Amino acid sequence: MRLRFDVEWRITLATAVLFPLLISLGFWQLDRAAEKQQLEAEWAQRQSAPPVALSALRDRDADELVYRGVRLQGEFLEGRYLLLDNRVRQGRFGYEVVGVMTLEDGGLALVNRGWLAGDPARRELPDVAWPAGTVTLDGHLYRSPGEPYLLGEQDFSGEWPLVIQALDIDAIAARLREAYSAELFPLEVRMAAGQPGALLTDWQVVNASPAKHRGYAVQWFSMAAVLVLFWLLRNSNLWSLIRNRRTP
């Protein structure tokens, strides 16, 4: 008995549509894995260098500064801070606390102190304590690698503290410039652990590891292979040939 085909057009059409889609999703996950691996490599390289004074980086291209270790000295503006909403740690609801620091050598900077637990019922905002006077601290520069997902339009004109979903440096800079006639550094500073005023600073370079993306790619490719196998079994006598070969 030879292999014969009797093509069923509906299954063939569905396979022709789904197969390239599954393959493209697999390669997309491989691309994401490569991007995440590159981010982790940049993080490791820039974190190995000693921290640089923030004032020395004002005129540098922002793309070159992401993850760079920095040291800054200044004083947090009393009552002027932002709460990044819906930040969950180990299943607990909370916020990331971002203070506005006036720098000793001029200008302002947004300093992310880390995560703080919040009221799950959202009845009250957390009581945030701040270090008094001038402080010197280390951290690293950060910018979100992509556009953040927003549930709605953000309002930066309300009363302090501002509860927002994601940092919009330009919008915050415009408000601070109007109030303090000072320029805001164009990147967020994420505080290192153990610094004055640091909260929970379990910073993650990427939200999903390269290995996880590669695992997703394997799943998409496997689904494509199963789809082809199903098409082959449905449109040919391959299964009969296999059964006859296994049966004496």
pLDDT above 90 (res 98): yes
Query: Is the bond into 148 cis (omega within 30 degrees of 0)?
Result: no
Give the helix/strand (H/E) hosting 13.
Answer: helix 9-47
What pLDDT does 73 receive? Answer: 94
Q: Are residues 179 and 139 in the same domain?
A: yes
Distance CA 164, CA 155 (A): 8
Distance CA 221, CA 68 (A): 37
pLDDT tens-digit readout, 49-93: 788 888 888 878 877 788 889 999 999 998 899 999 989 888 899
Q: Are residues 76 and 171 in the same domain?
A: yes
Distance CA 134, CA 197 (A): 12
Task: Give Cα separations from 214 to 19, 24, 223 (angstroms).
Answer: 19, 13, 14
Q: Are residues 240 and 137 in the same domain?
A: no
Q: Are residues 94 and 161 in the same domain?
A: yes
Q: Are residues 168 and 218 in the same domain?
A: no
134 C-beta neighbours (distance < 10 Å), count = 13
What pLDDT does 146 receive? Answer: 64
pLDDT above 60 (res 248): no
Closest C-alpha to 84, from 130, 116, 62: 116
192 C-beta neighbours (distance < 10 Å), count = 19
Distance CA 96, CA 99 (A): 10
Segment 14-31 shows an average pLDDT of 93
Q: Are residues 235 and 154 in the same domain?
A: no
pLDDT tens-digit readout, 116-136: 999 888 889 998 999 989 999
Q: Are residues 76 and 152 in the same domain?
A: yes
Task: Give Cα separations from 157 to 33, 102, 128, 167 (angstroms).
Answer: 38, 20, 21, 14
Q: Are residues 182 and 96 in the same domain?
A: yes
Total domains in the fold of the chain: 2
pLDDT above 80 (res 153): no
pLDDT tens-digit readout, 162-206: 998 888 888 999 999 988 888 999 999 999 999 999 999 988 776
151 C-beta neighbours (distance < 10 Å), count = 8
Q: Which residues contact 190 (CB under 8 A, 6 or more apart)?
A: 112, 114, 139, 140, 141, 142, 201, 203
Range of the domain at 120: 68-191
